[in-house]
Structure 1
Amino acid sequence: MPRTGLSAEEIKARATDLALTRMRLLGADKVRLTDVAKELGVSHAALYAHFADKTALLDAVIERWMHEVQQKLAAVASAAGDPAQRMVDWLVTLYQTKRQRALTDPEPHRAFDIASALDKPFVIAHLSSLLDQLAGLFSEAQARFGSDSALNARLIYTATAAFHHPTLIAQTAHTDQEPMLRQIITLTLLGMQSSPAQVG
Structure 2
Amino acid sequence: MPRTGLSAEQLKEKAIDATLVRVRRDGHDKVRLSDVARDIGVSHAALYPHFADKAALFDAMLERWLRDSTESLAAVTRRSGDAQARIVDWFVTLYRMKRSRALDDPAPFRAFDVASAVEKPFAIAHVKDLLGQLQELLAEAGVKDAREKADLLFRATAAFHHPTLVTQSAHDDLEPQLRAIVRLMLRGMTSK
2:166 counterpart of 1:169:
yes
* Structure 2 CA distance for aligned equivalents of residues 160 and 166 of structure 1: 12
Shift of 1:194: 2.4
Please give the root-mean-square deviation of Cα atoms over the aligned residues, in Å.
Answer: 0.9
Residue 92 (structure 2) aligns with: 92
SS of the aligned residue for 2:47 comes to helix
Residue 139 (structure 1) aligns with: 139
Query: Can you give the 5+ residue segments of structure 1 that lack an aligned partner in the other structure?
Result: 196-200
Q: Which amino acid aligns with 1:123?
A: A
Q: Which amino acid aligns with 2:113?
A: D
* Structure 2 CA distance for aligned equivalents of residues 40 and 67 of structure 1: 23
Residue 129 (structure 1) aligns with: 129
Residue 18 (structure 1) aligns with: 18
Q: After the TM superposition, which residues 100-111 of structure 1 pair with which residues of structure 2 at under 5 Å, given as runs?
A: 100-111=100-111
SS of the aligned residue for 1:48 comes to coil
* More displaced stretch, 34-43 vs 88-97: 34-43
* Structure 2 CA distance for aligned equivalents of residues 78 and 10 of structure 1: 30
Q: Identical aligned pairs, as a percentage?
A: 59
Residue 183 (structure 1) aligns with: 180
* Structure 2 CA distance for aligned equivalents of residues 138 and 24 of structure 1: 37
Query: Can you give the 5+ residue segments of structure 2 that lack an aligned partner in the other structure?
Result: none
Post-superposition CA distance 1:79-110 (Å, at most 9, x none): 01011110000000000000000000000000
SS of the aligned residue for 2:4 comes to coil
* Structure 2 CA distance for aligned equivalents of residues 112 and 156 of structure 1: 22
Residue 73 (structure 1) aligns with: 73
* Structure 2 CA distance for aligned equivalents of residues 64 and 171 of structure 1: 24
Aligned residues between the structures: 192
* Structure 2 CA distance for aligned equivalents of residues 105 and 57 of structure 1: 18
Post-superposition CA distance 1:87-144 (Å, at most 9, x none): 00000000000000000000000000000001111111111100000011111122xx
Post-superposition CA distance 1:5-56 (Å, at most 9, x none): 1100111100000000000000001111101111212111111111000111
Residue 44 (structure 1) aligns with: 44
Where does structure 1 differ by over 2 angstroms across 4 or more consecutive aligned residues?
A: none
Shift of 1:193: 1.5
2:133 counterpart of 1:153:
no
* Structure 2 CA distance for aligned equivalents of residues 120 and 2 of structure 1: 30
Shift of 1:60: 1.1
SS of the aligned residue for 1:42 comes to coil
Q: Which amino acid aligns with 1:95?
A: Y
* Structure 1 CA distance for aligned equivalents of residues 141 and 176 of structure 2: 24
Residue 53 (structure 2) aligns with: 53
* Structure 1 CA distance for aligned equivalents of residues 24 and 171 of structure 2: 19
* Structure 1 CA distance for aligned equivalents of residues 72 and 49 of structure 2: 31
Q: Which amino acid aligns with 1:94?
A: L
Shift of 1:186: 1.0
